Amino acid sequence: MTTPSEQAADEQRDPGLSAIMSERRQLLNLAYRLLGSLPDAQDVVQETYTRWYAMSRAEQEAIESPGAWLTKVASRICLNLLRSARVRRETYVGEWIPKPLPDPAEWIAGAAGGAGVDPADRITLDESVTMAFLVVFESMTPAERVAFVLHDVFRYPFAEVAEIVGRSPAACRQLASSARRRIAGARAEASPNAARQASVVRRFKAAWEAQDIEALVGLLDPDATAIADGGGRAIAHLLPIEGAEQIARFYLTIAGLAPPRTILECSVNGLPGLVVESGGRIETVFAFELADDDRIKHVWAVRNPDKLRPWRLS
């Protein structure tokens, strides 16, 4: 790890280093929203800086806005990854859910040394990173997703978005408009109020632990949907479960079959959720979406261990 004195020495040798590195958090937040995966976003940021430092000093100094250059490169890397991901997911086992994002304050304390998270590595938690919105993002084409995130979330003008996507500004405006319509539908259904959701999730946890089917059914919207992602790496139902009673009965069934475990309340992508811990290992992360009447409309259960690495407690 670079010490403050080493960083100061680096900045003396390269006065522009501080300005370049100050873009890291912006790039990480952009890449996470585009990819729905913190490890992938971190890889994109690393690759972006690798490309910057692969240039000569003269080439770097010729770039009028290094921040804009870094954003353009990171966005293009993400666009290519999104295109290839769509192909890979055609062979994915079962349903695919974006990788859940923990609150760093909740999981880093268990990491070696408990040193905390570099502020540059923190994702800004807002509406655009809730699981409900990331799932909607997944329904978009890569170009729609990039156009919407760059313009509507990060406020880049369509002229700059066009350079990244490789289309005209007018075409990018249409892409963002199409994405906006999808988002509008999600906003109409979602009720991302943390305090209300925490209360509902707490009651869901209590009913599940008490194996109270009537209470579980009452907390679920009649048309609720539950989706699990095991990715072929963990046992999970391969198809969505629909209907409050069907979901409640399934969860009570698995509760009866599972080994001893602990259900914990936690933050998942900025909203209250649950984690299931067994044998000192996080085996499932649950994210929820509420309907307007504060009943649970969607349940997402991530069990693929590859997607739960940031959730390890030790």
Domain of residue 26, CATH code: 1.10.1740
Instruction: Indicate whether 174 and 212 sit together in one domain.
Output: no
Give the model's pLDDT for residue 18: 75
Whether the predicted pLDDT of 9 surpasses 60: no
Instruction: Indicate whether 211 and 279 sit together in one domain.
Output: yes
> How would residue 51 be classed by pLDDT, with cut points 50, 70 and 90?
very high
Q: Which domain holds residue 16?
A: 1-91
Whether the predicted pLDDT of 110 surpasses 60: no
Give the model's pLDDT for residue 309: 85
pLDDT top residue among 236 and 4:
236
Strand-pair category, 271-278 with 281-290: antiparallel
Give the model's pLDDT for residue 169: 97
Which residue from 224, 225, 226, 228 is spatially nearest to 96, judged by alpha carbons? 228
Can you point out the beta strands (E) in the chain? 220-229, 241-242, 262-268, 271-278, 281-290, 296-302
pLDDT tens figures, 235-277? 999 999 999 999 999 999 988 877 778 999 999 999 999 999 9
Instruction: Indicate whether 155 and 211 sit together in one domain.
Output: no
Whether the predicted pLDDT of 31 surpasses 50: yes
| Boundary residue ending a domain (61, 91, 121) | 91
Domain of residue 303, CATH code: 3.10.450.50
Instruction: Indicate whether 180 and 219 sit together in one domain.
Output: no
pTM: 0.84
